[in-house]
């Protein structure tokens, strides 16, 4: 398991544009928080869809790295998201990821997305990540893998 | 049909954070372009996944508004994206949307996403949008509708 | 709420080809069971993918009708499924649906699919259903609606 | 490339429950046909959703095997389908698959689904398949691979 501190440092160094912060990680789960300000809002006072997609993506990434260690080339291969309710314009977005499968080369997880403090979720996503195969003797936290197909968040 | 100039003006005014520009729109299609710079790149020199999700979302939005007029409360209800190849770090992202269905309350379209000038697509998305029902006598380009469930891009 | 007995009778009469039976329904959830025999198996002794898709679809349908009553024209508008583990060839398939949203015209739910008695799920699906709008004064359990777009299971 | 005759024989032998027949295969595409009779119909005279999911699944499978040879353990890992229009009750279902990516271990394709003779599609699916890795020196048409995660159609 990778600690929350290690993961937060990794995200800050390697994904400086990412605005989500880690609330908790471990036990095949992760919770992340994304602030909502002018840059996230749209006409009608709602949070932009791509903000929620980014939250889903990073929540999955954190949940997976929390289990397998810092493997930067772990990349998204697919994401499916359903938007269900209008998010609040004055509350942070919270993404709660639960891994459904963590195989050697593929991970699948779901992310329930909330406006902070509101019970009913605003969106729900399911994503898959490809985990690079390791050459024998190389541990997962050495980022010396060939590039897999897919997308880092 | 809404002209490309009208749509570009609308996007600029209402979605100032959006970085995609419209290359063409009409005939149930739209092509948008997203510049790739430091803000879009990730370790390994690839374009971030959420950038491509945002491109898919805006390409769908433009293709739909190109047909029905400026209906700001037309909102994404779902998006499914598959990442297939590593995008180039030095080429714009191009999203080509083709509508598969344009009903009165629901539109479905697919978006093929490219690194400019490369034949094989880097990603493929399918999205659904909810179109607000219009009261009788109200045309689609009056944004006086009740909020539908879902997300503007 | 519609009772399990009513729903079982409705499925038997209206969907005679359906092989899934209802284990439980209520509280925005439903559990269904699909027998696994020669007709469901594939080379390698695994259960066919479309069997699990059908289980996901009917579990969603039952969970929704359990809440809104017998509305036969409630139809699937989308389904996303991830296959995660090889199902057992000698165990029934169990689908557990939990509704994420139950709006007036749209429902969203997730279905976790198991080989009976095995903890780790074999597949996970998310589906959306369109619920026909009712004319004023008409209750939801009168199937006299116009056809909505989509698919009954 | 595998011939249509070889693939048809393989499907008949290995998937005797499958009702789809191959109309054409090659050039990273496949077209399959599914008859519509009493077993496929639902109240309201529409074709059942799982029938169309099965058509999407087999069209993908045939398109892939048409390129890589008979690799039975090539399995579906995900399927996303949108239902867009009501299919005709008296026309066969036609699925037209086009591969978007054919990698060594992963294939992605889209399937447009029609009621025969009707221009507007009734549904659209995107699916991913895992292709088992081959030991060096073993050709793809030897089915001696370890089981991959996922589902045969």
Contact C150 D81 (CB under 8 A): no
Q: What is the mean pLDDT of chain C?
A: 88
* pLDDT at residue B134, rounded to an integer: 67
Average pLDDT of C2-22?
Answer: 91
Contact A49 B152 (CB under 8 A): yes
Contacts of D80 in chain B (CB under 8 A): 80, 126
Structural domain range at position D39: 4-130
Residue C58: pLDDT above 60? Answer: yes
Residue of C nearest to A128 (CA): C82
Residue D13: pLDDT above 90? Answer: no
Question: Could you tell me if D121 lies within 8 Å of chain B, comparing CB atoms?
Answer: yes
Question: Could you tell me if B106 lies within 8 Å of chain A, comparing CB atoms?
Answer: no
Residue A23: pLDDT above 50? Answer: yes
Tokens of C115: 């080989």
Contacts of C14 in chain D (CB under 8 A): 42-43
* pLDDT at residue B78, rounded to an integer: 97
Tokens of A23: 């609330």
Q: Is residue D142 part of a domain?
A: no
Q: Is residue B73 part of a domain?
A: yes
Q: Is residue A153 part of a domain?
A: no
High-pLDDT (> 90) share of chain D, %: 71
pLDDT in tens, D129-139: 999 876 554 44
CA distance A112 to A126: 9
Q: How confident is the model at residue A64 (pLDDT cuts 50, 70, 90)?
A: very high
Contact C106 B77 (CB under 8 A): yes
CA distance A71 to A132: 8
pLDDT in tens, B28-45: 999 999 999 988 888 778
Contact B106 C149 (CB under 8 A): yes
Q: Which residue has the higher pLDDT, B84 or B141?
A: B84
Q: Is residue D101 part of a domain?
A: yes
Q: What is the CA radius of gyration of chain C?
A: 15
Instruction: Note whether C100 and A124 are within 8 A (CB).
Output: yes
CA distance C139 to D48: 25
Residue D147: pLDDT above 50? Answer: no
**Chains B and D: how many Cβ contacts under 8 Å?**
37
Q: Three-state DSSP class for D140?
A: coil
Residue C44: pLDDT above 90? Answer: no
Question: Could you tell me if B141 lies within 8 Å of chain C, comparing CB atoms?
Answer: no
Residue of A nearest to B124 (CA): A78
Residue of D nearest to A127 (CA): D78
C-interface mutation test, from D88, D129, D151, most C Cβ less than 10 A away = D151
* pLDDT at residue C153, rounded to an integer: 61
Q: What is the mean pLDDT of chain B?
A: 88
Closest by alpha carbon to D109, among D55, D60, D75, D53? D60
Tokens of D72: 């039975």
Report the DSSP pairing between strands D106-115 and D123-130: antiparallel
* Ranges A104-108, B30-34, B109-113, D37-41: which has the least confidence: D37-41
Contacts of B106 in chain C (CB under 8 A): 77, 149
Residue D141: pLDDT above 50? Answer: no
* Ranges B130-144, C52-66, D44-58, D62-76: which has the least confidence: B130-144
* pLDDT at residue A42, rounded to an integer: 81
Average pLDDT of B84-109?
Answer: 96
* pLDDT at residue D103, rounded to an integer: 94
Average pLDDT of B14-19?
Answer: 85
- Residue indicated by tokens 């399927």: D79
Domain count, chain B: 1
What own/partner pairs with CB < 8 Å and gap ≥ 24 does C4-12 have?
C4/C66, C6/C70, C7/C62, C7/C65, C7/C66, C7/C70, C10/C65, C10/C70, C10/C72, C11/C58, C11/C62
Instruction: Note whether A80 and B80 are within 8 A (CB).
Output: yes
Q: Which residue has the higher pLDDT, D62 or D132?
A: D62
* pLDDT at residue B146, rounded to an integer: 31
Average pLDDT of D54-67?
Answer: 97
Tokens of D53: 């999911």
Which candidate from D103, D128, D149 shows the least CB-CB separation from A78? Answer: D128
Instruction: Note whether B73 and B65 are within 8 A (CB).
Output: no
Q: How far is B129 from chain D (nearest CA, A)?
A: 12
Closest by alpha carbon to A53, among A22, A28, A76? A76
pLDDT in tens, A75-105: 999 999 999 999 999 999 999 999 999 999 9
Helix, strand, coil in percent for chain D, rounding step 5: 20, 35, 40
Question: Could you tell me if B15 lies within 8 Å of chain A, comparing CB atoms?
Answer: yes
* pLDDT at residue D140, rounded to an integer: 45
* pLDDT at residue C2, rounded to an integer: 83
Q: How far is B122 from chain A (nearest CA, A)?
A: 9
A-interface mutation test, from D78, D107, D131, most A Cβ less than 10 A away = D78
C-interface mutation test, from A84, A105, A107, A112, most C Cβ less than 10 A away = A84
Contacts of C80 in chain B (CB under 8 A): 80
Residue C136: pLDDT above 60? Answer: no
Q: How confident is the model at residue A136 (pLDDT cuts 50, 70, 90)?
A: low
Q: Is residue A142 part of a domain?
A: no
* pLDDT at residue D153, rounded to an integer: 60
Q: How far is A44 from chain D (nearest CA, A)?
A: 28
Residue D146: pLDDT above 90? Answer: no
Q: How confident is the model at residue B140 (pLDDT cuts 50, 70, 90)?
A: very low
Average pLDDT of D59-84?
Answer: 95
Q: Is residue D136 part of a domain?
A: no
Q: How confident is the model at residue D1 (pLDDT cuts 50, 70, 90)?
A: low
Residue of C nearest to D38 (CA): C17
Q: Is residue D55 part of a domain?
A: yes
* pLDDT at residue C87, rounded to an integer: 96
Q: Which residue has the higher pLDDT, A146 or A42?
A: A42
The CATH code of the domain that includes D78 is: 3.10.129.10
Which candidate from D15, D39, D54 shows the least CB-CB separation from C42? Answer: D15
Q: Is residue C152 part of a domain?
A: no
Q: Which residue has the higher pLDDT, A59 or D142?
A: A59
* pLDDT at residue C147, rounded to an integer: 38
Residue C144: pLDDT above 70? Answer: no
High-pLDDT (> 70) share of chain B, %: 86
Residue of C nearest to B105 (CA): C149
High-pLDDT (> 90) share of chain C, %: 71
Which candidate from C43, C76, C81 shows the least CB-CB separation from D49? Answer: C76
Question: Could you tell me if B103 lies within 8 Å of chain C, comparing CB atoms?
Answer: yes
């Amino acid at each position: 398991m990778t600690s929350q501190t290690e993961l937060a440092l990794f995200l800050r160094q390697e994904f400086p544009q990412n605005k989500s912060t880690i609330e908790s990680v471990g036990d095949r789960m992760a919770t992340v928080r994304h602030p909502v300000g002018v840059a996230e809002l749209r006409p009608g006072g709602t949070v932009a869809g791509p903000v929620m997609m980014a939250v889903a993506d990073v929540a999955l990434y954190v949940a997976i790295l929390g289990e397998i260690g810092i493997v930067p080339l772990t990349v998204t291969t697919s994401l499916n998201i359903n938007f269900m309710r209008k998010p609040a314009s004055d509350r942070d977005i919270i993404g709660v990821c639960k891994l459904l499968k963590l195989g050697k080369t593929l991970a699948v997880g779901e992310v329930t997305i909330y406006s902070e403090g509101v019970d009913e979720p605003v969106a729900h996503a399911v994503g898959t990540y490809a985990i690079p195969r390791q050459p024998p003797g190389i541990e997962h936290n050495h980022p010396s893998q060939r590039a897999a197909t897919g997308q880092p968040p």
